[in-house]
Amino acid sequence: MKDITFLNPGFFWLFAALPFAIAWYIWKRRQQTATLTISSLNGFKVKPSLLGRLKPVLFALRILALSCIIVAMARPRTVDINSKNHSTRGIDIVMAMDISGSMLAEDLKPNRLEALKKVAAEFVDDRPNDRIGLVVYAGESYTRTPVTSDKQIVKDAIKSLDNKGEDILAPGTGIGVGLATAINRLRDSKAKSRIIILLTDGVNNTGQVDPRTAADIAKEYGIKVYTIGIGTNGRARSPVAIDRATGKWVYENVEVKIDEELMKEIAKKTDGTYFRATSNSKLKSIYGQINKLETSEIKEQKFYNYNEKFRPLVWLAFGLLLAEVVARKTLYRSFI
């Protein structure tokens, strides 16, 4: 019953009249019963017939028929709703992530890279109607996933990011090459809006592409760049070297250095915004803000398929009334 709705529920008020109909039937039945006063009933004692006892069933059939008619008039029905969504203003997004060794700093928990992976995956889930790509960089850069609508591929790529960035890429932080690679993934995009989310925790200190030149190219292509500096203010426990004996990182408290002026300049030049993530919650909030700033226009079409349920009730009411009439004209024809 939870899936059934009623088009005309006001007809249910007619059920309030049924108790009056029942009372009227009982009163009329008593009025139609003849009475005779005698001194003794011993000579008239007979066993009531089953047919006589069942005569009130005729009125019950009528009440049930009326109930079915009332419910039918209320128009019970079920509805199947099919929705078809399509984006009328698609957005292509490339996330350019710094995976240099300093991303293992523990000012965010458990470290900057792991905190970023969690928030970035949630961001992907929040963009079901857009295409997303992933670029990673340290001293060099490469495309981890091209711009795609397959969100699972992007999330798997984010999940697989590890702390070996400087083992597979040249050491250092090449913000310019990271941005240039991201631009290259978007320059041929036909989307109405194209954005890059550029994240770093350091200062541009390597690479063959100047970040400001890359920003000029982004502006030329109409690509908006949101920049994020990740890292606390002050000092943070960060990896500084690898212990040759154990192969593990050696950590020391070092000063957090982010070229905020450069990141602000890139964002301003491309009509984007610069953010600073100094904690896990702040990082999550930043991606939430970007998610709200860049919204896709979604057009939704709903198709309603109604399945009317009143017809079986009408046929049931007709059957009950027919049964009453037949019984009254045959079995109970001689009854008062």
* pLDDT score at 332: 72
> What pLDDT, on a 0 to 100 scale, did the predictor assign at position 330?
83
Structure tokens at 94: 């490339």
Q: Give the closest residue to 67 by CA, choosing from 15, 19, 16, 20.
A: 15
Does the bond joining 110 to the residue before it have cis omega, within 30 degrees of 0? yes
Dihedral pair phi/psi, residue 249, rounded to 5°: -70, 145
Q: Which of 81-85, 154-158, 163-167: highest mean pLDDT? A: 154-158
CA atoms within 13 A on the CB side of 55: 17
> Which of 137, 51, 48 lies closest to 94, judged by CA?
137
Residue 261 clears pLDDT 90, i.e. is over it: yes
Nearest CA to 192 among 294, 268, 100? 294
pLDDT band at 325 (very low <50, low <70, confident <90, very high): confident
278 pLDDT higher than 90: yes
This prediction has a pTM of 0.64
Residue 74 exposed, middle or buried by CB count within 10 Å (0-12, 13-18, 19+): buried
| Confidence tier at 166 by pLDDT (50, 70, 90) | very low
- Average pLDDT in the 122-138 region? 93
* CA 114, 260, 271, 138 torsion-angle sign: negative
What confidence tier does 306 reach under pLDDT thresholds 50, 70, 90? confident
Least confident span in 25-34, 149-158, 245-254: 25-34
pLDDT in tens, 15-45: 888 888 888 878 877 766 555 566 555 655 5
Residue 106 zone, left/alpha/beta (φ > 0; ψ -120 to 50; rest) = alpha
Contact by Cβ (8 Å): 250, 241: yes
Region at 234 (left for phi over 0; alpha for psi -120 to 50; beta for the rest): left
Give the count of alpha carbons within 13 A of 280, CB side only. Answer: 12
Band the pLDDT of 167: cuts 50, 70, 90. very low
Q: Could you give the CA distance from residue 261 to residue 3 in angstroms, rounded to a whole number?
A: 59
Say what the pLDDT of residue 298 is: 53
**How confident is the prediction for the chain on average, in pLDDT?**
86
Helices (H), 208-333: 211-220, 260-269, 280-293, 310-329
Per-residue model confidence (pLDDT) at position 7? 87
